[in-house]
Structure 1
Amino acid sequence: MDIKETTGKDSAVVAQEGVFGIPPKGYRLFGIVFPAYRSPIVQCLIISCVHLLVVGMFNVLSALGGGGQVDPTTSNNANTILYSLFCVFALTAGSVVNFLGPKITLATGGIGYSLLSASFWSYNHNKNEGFVYFGGAMCGIAAAFLWTAEGSLIMSLPMEKDKGKYISLFYGLSFFGTVIGAIIPTVENWGVTTAGSANDGTYIALFILMVLGSVVACFISNPSRVIRNDGTRVFIPRNTTFLQELKNVVLVVKREPWIILFFPYSFAGLWYIPYQSNDYNAYYFDLRTRAFGSLWFDFGQFVMAVIMGMFLDLKVIGGRRRRAFMGWAVLFILLNAVFIGGVFPARESHRGVAPPGGLIDVTDSSRAGGYITLFVFYGCVDGAWQTFAWWVVGALSNDPLVLSIYSAFYKVFGAMGAAIVFNLDARGISYQSMFGSYWGLLAGSMLLVLVLIYKRVKDTSGLITEAVALEKLGDMQLEDK
């Protein structure tokens, strides 16, 4: 995308418009200097805490398999509704986020997610599928707005050289919260050594934590008041219309056609959920081992998200372009090595047939160790995958308007893939087909991303773009050049 950088004389003009400011001073307490409340790092931490409490707890629920129920059919149908609406609303969520602002958008997101947990709590008592489907619908709409707001903020807050650190902080803290959250179902259901359903305490605790995420979102500062350490301001697009949002989406693809190569990668990003949660975790393990394994799956996500983010910002490797290729190679080798290991359990699993030797319990040292370890490495692949995705997108531009659309693309196609694969799982597609499609999509889409990196990732994207200056003038339309 050819967006003119405003440097030299132009940047002096932009500075007069208010693009530059004085970075806020930190606070000294007991001899320790803490960053200011309106600094990018503190705002990143607040956003990460919101994600931890909302999406993190949703991941805890999903990782149990079948929403914590014995029969995953209702959960699969709810997730099909969830991701279908997520896909539809994510494409135009930018206009809502820009109109309401990130604080209100993120706060309402927690309410939508909490309804899904509440619906499963209700389902434990009355088997009301309609409420579960309603909870899935509300969660899908809320997710579209929440992820769009988070994505544009996390990729816009840091300076260019720190994007990997901020993304690893965001995902690392989020996944660490998921690890802590996974302790809840593990403790609550430790006595259940059958297939079983999660008890009320699990759903109530997750519901409360999701609502708490909405409370934390109220502490997010207006992005226009955040100033980076280099003096540049953080701008998030405002006052766009629904129609303009759609037009900007078309213009972004027209001006950066190579972004199309990122769509299959996005599509594959959430394909893992039903196979790993329903067809592996819920198939092989009893309830307490499902919860215990989910805890370690989340730990694998956390560790690899941090490692990948830090690796991608490691200056000793070389420039950003070189780091992109190295990061790609690490992820490609990791995912293929893990899936080679996954072939063996996939071959011996069949729908409607109990696993060989019966359900695995965590105390069965001869069987549990290897299967849980594989599940942990599945989590490692996902943590690295999500972090690499956001880093690559952040490497394509520093323009907040463009980044918000790229973020929407990632979630739109990811939700589209999830809606399809949950429907396939509900239809009873064989476990081998689910596994094969998962592996094939991930490996194939990575080859396309390699071309995108080769064509478009440079060592710098420019610090201040024309779109930022246009925002100061109130013009939120990308020009069709």
Structure 2
Amino acid sequence: MSTVTVEQPLSPMRRVYTNPWFQILMISFICFCCPGMYNALSGLGGSGQVDPTVAANATVALLAATAGTALFVVGPIFDRVGPRVCLLIGGWTYALYSGSLLSFNHNHNGAFVIASGAILGIGASFLWVSQGAIMTTYVPENQKGRAIATFWIIFNFGGGIGSLASFGLNFNSKIGTVSDSTYIALMVIMLVGWAACVFICNPSAVRIKGVGTFAEEGSNWRQIIRLTLSIVGDWRVFCMFPLFFCANVFYSYQQNDVNGLTFNIRTRSLNGALYWFAQMFGGLIMGFLLDMPFLGRRWRAILGWVTLFTTGLAIWGGGYAFQLWSDRRQAKGLKQDIDYTNGHLSAGPIILYICYGAYDALWQSFCYWLIGARSNSPATTAILVGGYKTFQSTGGAMAWRINALKKSAMTQFAMDWGLCMGSLVIAIPTVLSITSTNVDSEVAGTVVKEDQEDAKPAIA
């Protein structure tokens, strides 16, 4: 006698919850609220303070903590506890940092701001490793560019909206610091993002059309460390490390020296909004290029590289002309004086700052896509993202420390431009090694079942 076993269909709510694109939208919303609002804050130049030194040192502490935890601490923990727990561990630290700046407005306790920055660095490791794994593995290979673009648009919309809110709150400000209400508003939004982390599900529950669902890895700590070392030692990954190192290396110069020293407080807020909105556009462009259906994956990788190299030469070339002009102005004692209404002075620098924002999105979108092209396994990708955040934070910490030491703006500019172009050259072997797919080599080890709606009855 035979029996028929039919898996129970998922409820409509469960189907939505485990849909890859719902998860992409949720992690995007979380980053809209947490790092998006942090970006709005840091984009003001000196996190909205007259003297950017404390904020710069806090950012050094933040990035150093991220660099020290992302790869060998958070990556393995992610494999054991999953993204939801990691996000809940990390999300609240963004509100702590905003609160420390609110406190600094009243008691000038710089040590609290720096300590909060270090705590945020650890929290950011948990958030960004989870985000990267979700964004690059919860969708099929031919949709990864779109997933990255969708995330980048929503995430940077947070920075843009936060900066616009700051622009409104500080529109009539005559002082160099932002108001208490700015820090309070950003802190509340960050806490909302932290609460939303409960809606993230683990990889084993996500239904990826044409692939199925990922099995729980179930590795022990020794296996995880061995896997981490093997991934980091791969020459193709090794060639990506300079790209990762440069992913945030230009922030300190752009935010503190270009925006922070050139414009008054309300124009810095407006520029922050334009910078993050430009990132939305840059992410959309790179996502479109990297998902072109009529090009093979290797040719899409080459197209992304060429786009980065050519736009980098053009934008940084314009930045060189700006820096020469800015040096002449500051030699006359002119700084933090340009208002957006003064069109003949403000138009060129504002356009350059917008281009800097778009280029950042092009750069990071390409890095994430390369990570996604290496593997479809969430555990493997979490390690790769951990490496990305480690080197990204190391480069950023170096740059922010150089900024805090008040090295000349031209020195910082030359360093940023040279590092970016050089890292693109080093990445060429990795770009050329991209294969047409990873599914054939990974599906046996990571996929355990197909979409339940499409599963056929089992006859016993």
Size of the alignment, in residue pairs? 440
> Match for residue 136 of structure 1?
117
Within the candidate set 229, 244, 257, 1:250 is matched to 229
> Match for residue 283 of structure 1?
261
Deviation, 1:399, is 2.6
Structure 1 position 368 matched with structure 2 position 346:
yes
Deviation, 1:353, is 4.8
Structure 1 position 150 matched with structure 2 position 131:
yes
Deviation, 1:99, is 2.9
In 1, Cα distance between equivalents of 2:419 and 2:29: 31
In 1, Cα distance between equivalents of 2:296 and 2:140: 15
Q: Which amino acid in 1 is paired with 2:237?
A: I
Distance 1:364 1:93, change over 3 A: same
Structure 1 position 458 matched with structure 2 position 435:
yes
In 2, Cα distance between equivalents of 1:238 and 1:173: 33
Within the candidate set 49, 52, 56, 2:29 is matched to 49
Summarize deviations over 1:120-156 as a string: whole Å, max 9, x none. Answer: 0000000001110111011000011111111112111
5 Å-filtered alignment, 1:400-415, equals 400-415=378-393
Summarize deviations over 1:162-213 as a string: whole Å, max 9, x none. Answer: 111111111121112221121111111111255x011101111111111111
Structure 1 position 308 matched with structure 2 position 306:
no
Structure 1 position 388 matched with structure 2 position 369:
no
Summarize deviations over 1:76-99 as a string: whole Å, max 9, x none. Answer: 111111110100010121122233
Structure 1 position 66 matched with structure 2 position 46:
yes
In 2, Cα distance between equivalents of 1:72 and 1:357: 14
In 2, Cα distance between equivalents of 1:291 and 1:54: 18
Summarize deviations over 1:270-304 as a string: whole Å, max 9, x none. Answer: 10111011011011000000001111011110111
Deviation, 1:460, is 1.3
Q: Which amino acid in 2 is paired with 1:76?
A: A
Q: Matched residues, percent identical?
A: 33
5 Å-filtered alignment, 1:263-342, equals 263-316=241-294, 318-342=295-319
SS at match of 2:213: coil
> Match for residue 173 of structure 2?
192
Structure 2: tracts of 5 or more residues without a match: 1-6, 450-460
In 1, Cα distance between equivalents of 2:9 and 2:24: 16
> 342-351 or 381-390: which moved more?
342-351
SS at match of 1:191: coil
In 1, Cα distance between equivalents of 2:357 and 2:114: 27
Structure 1 position 428 matched with structure 2 position 391:
no
Distance 1:366 1:349, change over 3 A: closer
Distance 1:348 1:405, change over 3 A: same
> Match for residue 324 of structure 2?
347
TM-score of the superposed pair, with normalisation by structure 1 = 0.87
SS at match of 1:404: helix
Q: Which amino acid in 2 is paired with 1:281?
A: N
CA contact (8 A) 1:263 1:410 kept: yes
CA contact (8 A) 1:297 1:380 kept: yes
Summarize deviations over 1:5-61 as a string: whole Å, max 9, x none. Answer: xxxxxxxxxxxxxxxx9996868xxxxxx9722110101111111111111111111
TM-score of the superposed pair, with normalisation by structure 2 = 0.91
RMSD: 2.3
In 1, Cα distance between equivalents of 2:238 and 2:349: 37
CA contact (8 A) 1:172 1:303 kept: yes
